[in-house]
A = this chain, B = another copy of it.
Amino acid sequence: MRFSNTDIKALEKNFRTNFVNSLSGFKSANLIGTISNTQKTNLAVFSSVIHVGANPPAMAILVRTATVERNTYSNIKENGYFTVNHIHKDFFRKAHQTSARYPKDVSEFDECGFTAQFTDTLPAPYVKEAAVKIGLKMTEEHIIKFNQTVFIVGEIMEVILDDTLIQKDGYIDIEKANTLTVSGLDSYHTTQRITRLSYAKPFTQPYDLSE
């Protein structure tokens, strides 16, 4: 079946939202923690966190400033820091609930049942319940002219995680942590590893890595 750009634009709004959100493939499932200058914490589910680079270590998020994500954006703009916290199987329903449009003076930590955890490294709240937590400092932002979303790059200032998840070669077994993945707007999935593959070289075949 084929859909042109015109076909997609002509789809019913909710149908189109579900359809296009499914196209990019599986997404990361994270909670972004921030705090305002008046010390109000905010927590929001994001599926747009991506890896940017390992050295220096960096990640990025794409923020929709016209939605509930605007509180996240305004807090990052105020103090420059945010946390990324993995969403696990045991609390994904509570994590999804952070996407509701709560009044600005309500903290999703309290309302959705998460514990804010601070360190001396940065002024942004971690989710205590997450097995993998990353603290970031915004280094730059790019406004996407196409639809006014904002791509925010952050340098990784701190990582807090269960050390039992780290394998000998540095790979973190996020499946063992029951980190979930998202498809579309609202579908949550566990994963099952097939294998890790060796670094690919021309004119040969990759082999399975053993732990």
In the complex, are the beta carbons of A194 and B189 less than 8 A apart? Answer: yes
A110 within 8 A of B: no
In the complex, are the beta carbons of B170 and A19 less than 8 A apart? Answer: yes
With A13-B55, A30-B25 as known contacts, state yes or no: A189 contacts B186, CB within 8 Å.
Answer: no
Interface of chain A: mostly helix, strand, loop or mixed = mixed
In the complex, are the beta carbons of B3 and A169 less than 8 A apart? Answer: no
State the interface size on chain A (CB cutoff 8 A): 118
What are the residues of chain B within 8 A of A189 when measuring CB–CB? 175, 181, 191-194
- Which of B20, B27, B54, B103 contacts A21, CB < 8 Å? B54
| Measured CA separation A199–B152 after assembly (Å) | 25
Please give me the residue from chain B that is nearest to A25 by CB atom.
B28
**How many Å from the CB of A31 to the closest CB on chain B?**
11
What are the residues of chain B within 8 A of A159 when measuring CB–CB? 2-3, 8, 23
In the complex, are the beta carbons of B149 and A200 less than 8 A apart? Answer: no
A74 within 8 A of B: no
In the complex, are the beta carbons of A11 and B170 less than 8 A apart? Answer: yes
Within 8 A of B (CB), among A153-211: 153, 155-163, 166-167, 169-172, 174-175, 179-181, 183-206, 209
Please give me the residue from chain B that is nearest to A46 by CB atom.
B25
In the complex, are the beta carbons of A187 and B181 less than 8 A apart? Answer: no
**How many Å from the CB of A176 to the closest CB on chain B?**
10
A99 within 8 A of B: yes
In the complex, are the beta carbons of B24 and A158 less than 8 A apart? Answer: no
In the complex, are the beta carbons of B29 and A160 less than 8 A apart? Answer: no
Interface centre among A14, A22, A167, A193 (most CB of B within 10 A): A22
What are the residues of chain B within 8 A of A128 when measuring CB–CB? none
